Structure 1
Amino acid sequence: MEEVKTLLAEDEAMLLLDFENALTDAGFHVRAVTNSGKAIEILRSADSPILGVVTDIRFGELPDGWEVARIAREIDPDIPIVYISGHGAVDWPSRGVPDSIMIEKPFTSAQLVTAVSHARRPRRQSDA
């Protein structure tokens, strides 16, 4: 059985590597991609068990990260979403999916790991 993964989508190669290393070092199994189209392809693939999504908002091409998250939630309404962006935080309340997390660049590795850990925490009835 394939391990469940966190899907990481970031188009800046150096940031992608830093984020992937931070999450891997924290014990997450990461599938990292550099574009939103590939992220959506993985989400739609039946053989890719994805437990959470970390996505940049702005890619060099469409679809954007808002769309990646929307598609992820169409596939799994409970999938945790963490947005990472240097520019999109102002749009998060209106464009982000419900119960998502936004962290603004620049951020530390610890902030990323904390956000992903919090997003993936099982919800209790009292949280609803």
Structure 2
Amino acid sequence: MDNITVLVVEDEVLVVLELEDALRDAGYSVVTANNGHEGLKLAEELFGSIRGIITDIRVGAGPDGWHIAHRVRELNPQIAVVYMSGDSASDWAANGVPNSHMIHKPFATAQVVTAISQLINEADRQL
């Protein structure tokens, strides 16, 4: 998985650290943002080089995960999107982007790695 970069947008430091470790162990490069403003900024700056985004729904200051994912899909319709949430999962059908996954908190990091890997593989098959 050389050069496959994933953006993680999450405001809980421990969750970020666990996801970073798991994703790097799986061979991904990881860029992180700890709030919505930073997540959107990085997503817009790096849209050409990131292949996936993993975002919490409520990510502190700035836009929420729904908005970030929609903006990234405007820039790159093939980007893999995995949402994480402890309380907004029921809104996924109405607010989530097509061909995305929702992971309920608490979760095993392997669930997130598997979900992003599956979506990236599906996007590769469509190209």
Give yes or no for TM over 0.5. yes
Encode CA deviations 1:6-58: one digit per residue, 9 max, x unaligned.
00000001111111111111111110111121111112216861111000001
Residue 7 of structure 1 aligns with an amino acid whose one-letter code is L
In the alignment, structure 2 segments of 5+ residues that lack a partner are none
TM-score where L is the length of structure 2: 0.89
Instruction: Determine the C-alpha separation between the residues in 1 that align with 2:46 and 2:15.
Output: 28
What is the distance in 2 between the residues matched to 1:6 and 1:21? 12
Give the CA deviation at 1:61. Answer: 2.6
Q: Distance in 2 between matches of 1:94 and 1:27?
A: 32
Check if 1:109 corresponds to 2:103: no
Which residue in the other structure is 1:58 paired with? Answer: 58
Structure 1 counterpart of 2:34: 34
Helix, strand or coil for the counterpart of 1:59? coil
Deviations 1:74-116, CA, capped at 9 Å, x for gaps: 1001111000111111000000011111011111121111111
Is the Cα–Cα contact under 8 Å of residues 5 and 29 in structure 1 kept in the other structure?
A: yes
How many residue pairs get aligned? The number is: 123
Runs of 4+ that moved beyond 3 A: 122-125
* Cα 1:105–1:46 shift into 2, 3 Å: closer
Report SS of the residue matched to 2:122.
coil
Q: CA RMSD in A?
A: 1.6
TM-score normalised per structure 1:
0.88
Percent same amino acid at aligned positions? 43
Distance 2:58 2:82 in 1: 14
Whichever of the two has the greater Rg, that structure is 1
Higher helix residue share: 2
